[in-house]
Amino acid sequence: MDLSQAIEQANAFVFPGFLTDDDSLTQERSKNEEAIKVLTDAWKAAPLGREPFSFDLVRGLADRNRDICDRYGIERLRNTNGLNLARRLSDADLIHGVATLQHRSDEEVARISGPTATDLGIAYVDAPVWGAVVGIDLETSDREPDRGYVINVGLEFMNLTPTAKPTNPYSAYCGMPEMYAEKGVPLSEIHHITWKDLDGVPPLRQNQKMQKAIRAALTAFPYMAHNAAFEDSWFMLNVDGYAEARKAGKIVPIDTRDICRRVDPEVRLLPRETHPATLENWARRRGTLSKNEKERHLGLEDVDLMLATVQAEFSERKMFPGQREED
């Protein structure tokens, strides 16, 4: 699919209710998701302020695709890979994240890490990290951001010091279409969120006040998330204005999973099949989660754990200002 075809697909006047059989629903979903990918890539690649279309076009197509998936049965797509969930932040994003935490230029960090961030672990410990961050975690009804719904948001703020505590915690549920009152909330075996939690709550896409609050938090400070590419992908297609602010450099995601992999030397010594970079396993090594405890998989609780573990890792590696001079 080329760009003109993707724009045509996004602008197509489609009544999902007219698509009643599995084949037509599958074909429409497949075209939608390919178009979302083509449009997103083209919009990101265009010079700032010279994009060939508004990103509203992409978000609108994602909204339409969720309706298609609901009608088809989202549970039937559990093992069907999508196209629009990024697997990792780009090298440029990772370098910019380190530069932001250390309050120096991307170029300075890139000189140490290399342009492909091969030695980013060295750059992380080359200068102190300081300042305020917002930690955030999403719980969703599906892995793919153009198929499912954000159903819980947890966030809080913290200064990067050895003894700081998080402040201004915020946690909220977001609703889903009424059909899930009977079908049940997808992935509830992971996040343990039920229809009782969501009943009567508006979906995030219909809650402009919550979208505005999320956008305000993420533009105020760099945000940390464990596998930040997940939150980034979901925000792109679910929060109005996020993509635009992100491209303009007003939003900076920082991936704490990447911090774990690059800064914690134990990760390289542990077998890959033990998943040493998961938040749960990392937290156990840093002593922020006991051996018999498990990650909650509920927004704010996971943010608490993530920020405490980042703080413990930074302290262990003497990455805060003044720690090395104390030795």
Quick: pLDDT tens for 311-321.
999 999 999 99
CB 237 within 8 A of CB 62: yes
**Do residues 44 and 129 both lie within one domain?**
no
Cα distances (Å, whole numbers) of residue 248 to 59, 101, 108, 314: 18, 18, 21, 29
- Looking at 29, 46, 77, the residue that finishes a domain is 77
User: What SS3 class is residue 258?
Assistant: helix
- Looking at 77, 107, 127, the residue that finishes a domain is 77
**Do residues 197 and 224 both lie within one domain?**
yes
pLDDT for 228 beyond 90: yes
**Do residues 111 and 223 both lie within one domain?**
yes
Nearest 10 degrees: CA dihedral of 148, 137, 282, 266?
90
**Do residues 48 and 175 both lie within one domain?**
no
pLDDT bracket for residue 326 (50, 70, 90): low
Amino acid (1-letter code) at residue 62: A
pLDDT bracket for residue 292 (50, 70, 90): confident
pLDDT for 148 beyond 60: yes
pLDDT bracket for residue 298 (50, 70, 90): low
User: What SS3 class is residue 82?
Assistant: coil
Give the CATH number of the domain where residue 311 resides. 3.30.420.10
Tokens read off for 238: 């679910």
**Do residues 143 and 65 both lie within one domain?**
no
Question: Are β-strands 150-159 and 167-173 bridged in parallel, bridged antiparallel, or unpaired?
Answer: antiparallel
pLDDT bracket for residue 246 (50, 70, 90): very high
Number of domains in the chain: 2
CB 9 within 8 A of CB 64: no
Q: Is residue 84 part of a domain?
A: no
pLDDT of residue 297: 60
Phi, psi (5° rounding) for residue 20?
-110, -20
Residue 127 sits in which domain range?
91-316
Tens-digit pLDDT profile for residues 26-78: 999 999 999 999 999 999 999 999 999 999 999 999 999 999 999 999 999 99
**Do residues 151 and 215 both lie within one domain?**
yes
pLDDT of residue 77: 94
**Do residues 137 and 19 both lie within one domain?**
no
Tens-digit pLDDT profile for residues 253-280: 999 999 999 999 999 889 988 899 999 9
Q: Is residue 82 part of a domain?
A: no
**Do residues 128 and 270 both lie within one domain?**
yes
**Do residues 103 and 51 both lie within one domain?**
no
Among the residues of 114-255, which ranges form H helices? 120-124, 180-183, 188-191, 195-198, 208-220, 228-238, 242-247
Question: Sign of the C-alpha dihedral, residues 144, 147, 148, 149?
Answer: positive
Q: Tell me the pTM.
A: 0.94
- Looking at 15, 43, 77, the residue that finishes a domain is 77
pLDDT for 146 beyond 60: yes
Q: Is residue 245 part of a domain?
A: yes
pLDDT of residue 235: 98
Q: Is residue 325 part of a domain?
A: no
CB 198 within 8 A of CB 183: no
**Do residues 164 and 278 both lie within one domain?**
yes
pLDDT bracket for residue 17 (50, 70, 90): low
**Cα–Cα distance for residue pair 131/182, rounded to 1 Å:** 46
**Do residues 177 and 108 both lie within one domain?**
yes
pLDDT of residue 295: 60
**Cα–Cα distance for residue pair 237/219, rounded to 1 Å:** 17
